[in-house]
Amino acid sequence: MVKKQSSMVWDMKTMFHCSIVLFFLGGLATLSFYRTDNLEVSSNVKVITLTTTTTTITTKSNTDTDTDTHMNTNKGTQVFDHQRRLKIAPPSLTETCDLFSGRWVHDNKSHYPLYKESECPFLHGDLACQTYGRKDSKYQRWRWQPHGCDFPRFDGKAIVERLKGKRLLFVGDSVNRNQWDSMMCMLYSSIPGEKKLGMGLNRTLYTFRANDYNISVDYYWAPMLVESNGDDPSNHRLDHRTIRVKSIEKHARHWVDADILVFNTYLWWRLPIIKLLKGPGSLLGGPNQVYDEIDNVRAYKMVLETWSKWVHTNIDPAKTKMFFMGFTATHSNAKDWGGKNRETCFKEKEPVMVDGFWESGTDPKMLRILESSLSKLKAKGVNVQLINITQLTQYRKDAHPTVHRRLWRPLTDEQKKNPQRASDCTHWCLPGVPDVWNELLLAYIFPSTKTAFQ
């Protein structure tokens, strides 16, 4: 009985040791097989390039011949995607460089200005500063230089090719119209064939159309995004702001078919009190108007919540790229940069060269609200890229129209005596600063790992 038990123990030990040896030998054989197989397949691997700004996956072969990556025909064994050695392309420039942190550099050898006023017949007279009397032109030749990197400089023909069949829509206030004017002028000379400018929807929609290329570059007037007493593009010089805080569909139904959406809203929120209309009363006032009054910061946050809900519900980020422009400076107080009291940007010829300069008219609290709203949307899977031009515009006190613009009504005698106070220090001469905004915007619309558009 003892011998039988001893024999059983010996047999179990033998089987255990044999199993270990067989397992070890099998592992070596498997390792050798996969090492050989992978070495033979690697020369036919395709490179998969991934970008964070699009759901499209493109493939590029690293050989001259297009081989079948799913089957090794020499050995007759199937090779699955997860077995291949993938080469991930380097991240795009917009992912590796802060394009919004930098300085302005005057460069006579650069390609600025990108166009001339005479080359853009559709340019609004409000922005054609040379046409309306401005003699100096140095403001047109400043280049934005990010710290430690560069961004793609404008190539009109390349951009036109990539915009074929697309609708690019700017939505917001007159500064966004300023940027739309800039984009229209940048593209104008690069688009062959017939080009038309049209207006519709009671002048709230401007359309620049290139029929041969099926390109539409549009602007929609909605200064507060939701319905407001500023919705009339011609009659909105009011001393108060009234909105329907949850009513956006009246405007937004005209945005849904755009391939690229560029939003902004800020200038109209600078009055300290905003009226929130309650009920069906008129936004323009009247005896039946009932409203609550709240501070502008809280109202701005509420409207961005309304806008965010609309974007999340109505826009497919896989089909439509979305951007939100940062705030732009209003250089109406020369004391900010060491000037005299009660003076403005009138006759300014040079940018501010103090790093980090911030003028008193730009509220950083509002910018933080915008950034927070975009972050919340991104957490829900909707990416609206902030084009944060706020700091770079702070320096450019030299680039506004002041009195060199088409005037909707003649200056009064008092204004003629004090051109400082009559100056437009909100909008921007063209060609000029907004052209750089569009170069930065295009770097995000068409991201590249190079410093020129592909």
SS3 274: strand
Calculated CA dihedral for residues 407, 411, 417, 423, nearest 10 degrees: -30
Which residue did the predictor score with more confidence, 268 or 416? 268
Question: Quick check: bond before 113 cis, omega within 30?
Answer: yes
pLDDT at position 49 is 32
pLDDT at position 47 is 31
Cβ neighbours of residue 273 closer than 8 Å, sequence gap 6 or more: 240, 241, 293, 294, 295, 296
Maximum distance among all alpha carbons in the chain?
Answer: 127
pLDDT at position 192 is 92
pLDDT at position 18 is 45
pLDDT at position 108 is 80
Q: Please say whether the beta carbons of 445 and 438 come within 8 A.
A: no
Q: How far apart are CA 102 and CA 437, in angstroms?
A: 13
Confidence tier at 43 by pLDDT (50, 70, 90): very low
Q: How far apart are CA 401 and CA 345, in angstroms?
A: 9
pLDDT at position 267 is 95
pLDDT at position 327 is 97
Q: Per-residue pLDDT for 116 more than 60?
A: yes
Phi then psi dihedrals of residue 148, to 5 deg: 80, 5
pLDDT at position 268 is 96
In this predicted structure, which of 87-101, 254-268, 301-315, 336-350 has the lowest mean pLDDT? 87-101
pLDDT at position 17 is 53
pLDDT at position 153 is 84
SS3 254: coil
For the beta sheet containing 241-243, the strands, ordered from the edge strand earlier in sequence to the opposite edge, are: 241-243, 273-278, 290-295
- Strand pairing report for 195-200 and 167-172: unpaired
Q: Per-residue pLDDT for 311 more than 50?
A: yes
Active-site hit among 181, 218, 424, 435:
424
Active-site hit among 174, 216, 228, 423:
174
Active-site hit among 124, 398, 427, 435:
427
- How many residues are given for the chain? 454
150 is catalytic: no
Q: Per-residue pLDDT for 219 more than 90?
A: yes
Rounded mean pLDDT, 313-325: 97
pTM for the whole thing? Answer: 0.79
126 is catalytic: no
In this predicted structure, which of 61-70, 194-203, 386-395 has the lowest mean pLDDT? 61-70
Q: Per-residue pLDDT for 76 more than 80?
A: no
Query: If you search the block for the tokens 């038309």, which residue do you land on?
Result: 196
For the chain, what is the mean pLDDT? 83
Phi then psi dihedrals of residue 109, to 5 deg: -90, -5
pLDDT at position 242 is 96
SS3 210: strand
Tokens at residue 380, please? 């829900």
Task: Give the pLDDT confidence of 325-366 residue by residue, as tens digits.
Answer: 999 999 999 999 999 999 999 999 999 999 999 999 999 999
Angle at 160 between CA 255 and CA 432, to 5 degrees: 80
Query: If you search the block for the tokens 């890229």, which residue do you land on?
Result: 385
Percent of the chain whose predicted confidence (pLDDT) is above 70: 78
427 is catalytic: yes
Q: Per-residue pLDDT for 454 more than 60?
A: no
